[in-house]
Amino acid sequence: MTATESSKQARRKAAMAVLAHSASAEISARLEAAALPAHQTLREPENGLVMVRGRIGGDGAAFNLGEATVSRAAVRLSTGEVGFGYVLGRDKQKAAMMALCDAMVQSEELAGLAEEQVIAPLRAALSTKRERKATEAAATRVDFYTLVRGES
Amino acid sequence: MYVAVKGGERAIENAHRLLAHERRGDRDVPEVSIAQISEQLSLGVDRVMAEGSLYDRELAALAIKQSRGDLIEAIFLVRAFRATLPRFGATEPVDTGEMQVRRRISSTFKDIPGGQILGPTFDYTHRLLDPQLAEGFAPEGPMVGDASGAATPRVTDILGRDGLIEPSPQGRADAIVGDLTREPLDFPAERDLRLQNLARADEGFLLALGYSTQRGYGRNHPFAGEIRFGEVEVEFMAEDAGFAVPLGSITLTECQMVNQFKGSATEAPCFTRGYGLAFGQSERKTMSMALVDRSLRARELGEELIAPAQDEEFVMSHSDNVQATGFVEHLKLPHYVDFQSELGLLRKLRKEFADATAAAPMREAAE
């Protein structure tokens, strides 16, 4: 894989991660505001399962922990870019929107638009949410202090 | 004469209609929503996901509603649903070290990097019923603290750096990961299969077994090295996309039990370990799982096999509450023919016994 390809893949993954963590309604609102490019469905959105794996001891050999529901879809833009949507849950609409976004991220004309209008605002909202969760947890961190008994 | 046994259909239909009516309860009381169950009975939902072996909050909440809060029935419903969907494949193994931690404690080290984070816990509550909750209660929002620069490495990784604890067993990259949903159980079972079995095992069963090891039935001297729960990202190698795609995050609880040390002539002594991992916030479950995982390693560690919790065939064959309830509850299905044959045999034996005892005094009298 060339450096350009790998950086493109990293960009696609980062966009997918933001979308996967965002609510369907928010993606849909952003996408509609950005105006949808012409595209066709390559894979009808469908629900299925993935077997989630853990590691023995957290860092050892893999084992099967249990399954999770997943939706997936694939689309192709009229300009040829093929996008894939994979997401936990059973929201086929979300998988389809993610596929469309993935295709847009790969398109030279649309990548900027997708980033500005869709991904960036969702990323900001997601990072605020994560930050809030982290600070809530941090408030429950124990601050040990030592009591000195008797004369010092 | 051949007698057809029919006539149950209407009774069954009406029983189901009555069930639906009873499930709704008093119709003057508002109906509970799936969102309410998912948000406000979230630990029940977590348990159904863990033991139903399917991560999907909405489905688990629906199952709890349908089962009227009978969690084993809900688990059964989730397992049945799972069989209706195709499997796309297996995810990349999750990295619990990268968890967005919402709770993380260690009972072995006071000062751990990242600190002891209590999170939303029942620990330290007084276990007094709270009358406020009975009359509608809006709690205050949570406090916020400084979360900057607080990486939370696994405690076992810290111990591992000095070789004080055994390393996790590494598998070959191309090794086939055992899957008990695809292959029937076979003994002895490897640790991957044991952990899969324990992860979906009945919490009460694991709790009792774990407790039994603490009380002396296969003692293994445990410390809770670390318990953490929070969100972990899941990636799936999508063949069509050609790379591992992020699917989103799931909530997991992990327990690292640090157990009695072991050494030999060739190996320096080090702590051994037991591991627990489950969907959702499932602390009791993962702690019990880690205790039982460790006790099931008795054979591998050359320990004397004396207790039920060390017997993998016993543990793994009886841990699944869907299987267990199926076999126990099938006893209430009609066994009319079986029972009639037993009854016939018993009557015959009793008659033989009566004839023999009636004949005996006569023999004695004759002698």
Would you give per-residue pLDDT tens digits along chain B (367 residues)? 555 566 788 999 999 999 999 999 999 999 999 999 999 999 999 999 999 999 999 999 999 999 999 999 999 999 999 999 999 999 999 999 999 999 999 999 888 888 999 999 999 999 999 999 998 889 999 999 988 767 888 889 888 888 899 999 998 878 899 999 999 888 999 999 999 999 999 999 999 999 999 999 998 899 999 999 999 999 999 999 999 999 999 999 999 999 987 778 888 899 999 999 999 999 999 999 999 999 999 999 999 999 999 999 999 999 999 999 999 999 998 888 889 999 999 999 999 999 999 887 666 666 5
Q: Is B30 inside a domain boundary?
A: yes
Assess whether B315 and B258 both reside in one domain.
yes
Cα gap B106→B153, rounded to integer Å: 12
What would the pLDDT profile of A104-126 be if each residue is shown by its tens digit? 999 999 999 999 999 999 999 99
| Domain contains B278 | yes
Domain that holds residue B30: 15-82
The verdict on B287 and B206 lying in the same domain is: yes
Pair B44, B192 in one domain: no
Same-domain check for residues B312 and B232: yes
Same domain, B35 and B108: no
| Residues B188, B235 within the same domain | yes
Q: What's the pLDDT band for A151 if we cut at 50, 70, 90?
A: low
CB–CB contact B55 A61 (8 Å)? no
Kindly list the domain boundaries of chain A, sorted by start residue. Answer: 3-125
Structure tokens at B363: 């023999």
User: Is B173 contained in some domain?
Assistant: no
Angle at B293 between CA B292 and CA B295, to 5 degrees: 60
Question: Do B193 and B235 belong together in one domain?
Answer: yes
Q: Is residue B172 part of a domain?
A: no
**pLDDT at residue B288, rounded to an integer:** 98
Q: Considering the domain boundaries, does residue B187 fall inside one?
A: yes
Rounded to whole angstroms, the Cα distance separating B67 from B47 reads 14
| B115 and B39 assigned to the same domain | no
Residue in A closest to B234 by C-alpha: A52
Distance CA B362, CA B367 (A): 9
- For residue range B283-303, what is the model confidence (pLDDT) as tens digits? 999 999 999 999 999 999 999
Kindly report, residue by residue over A73-89, the tens digit of the pLDDT: 999 999 999 999 999 99
B115 shares a domain with B20: no
* Domain endpoint, select from B36, B54, B82: B82
pTM for the structure as a whole? 0.93
The residue count of chain B comes to 367
Of B118, B180, B247, the CB nearest to A86: B247
Distance (Å, whole) CA A73 – CA A16: 13
Say yes or no: B198 and B263 in one domain. Answer: yes
Buried b (16+ CB within 10 A) or exposed e, B54-80: bbbbbbbbbbbbebeeebbbbbbbbbe
> Mean pLDDT score of chain B, rounded to an integer?
93
Which chain A residues contact residue B93 at CB under 8 A?
A: 53-55, 62
Query: Would strands A82-88 and A62-77 be described as parallel, antiparallel, or unpaired?
Result: antiparallel
Same domain membership, residue B187 and residue B65: no
B168 part of contact set with chain A, CB < 8 Å: yes
Other CB atoms within 10 Å distance of the CB of residue A11: 15
pLDDT in tens, B142-192: 999 988 767 888 889 888 888 899 999 998 878 899 999 999 888 999 999
pLDDT at A149 over 90: no
Domain identity same for B38 and B106: no
A16 vs chain B: nearest CA distance in angstroms?
6
Is position B315 within any domain? yes
Domain count within chain B: 2
In angstroms, the separation between the Cα of residue A42 and the nearest Cα of chain B is: 11
- B 193-232 residues with CB < 8 A to A: 193, 195-196, 199-200, 230
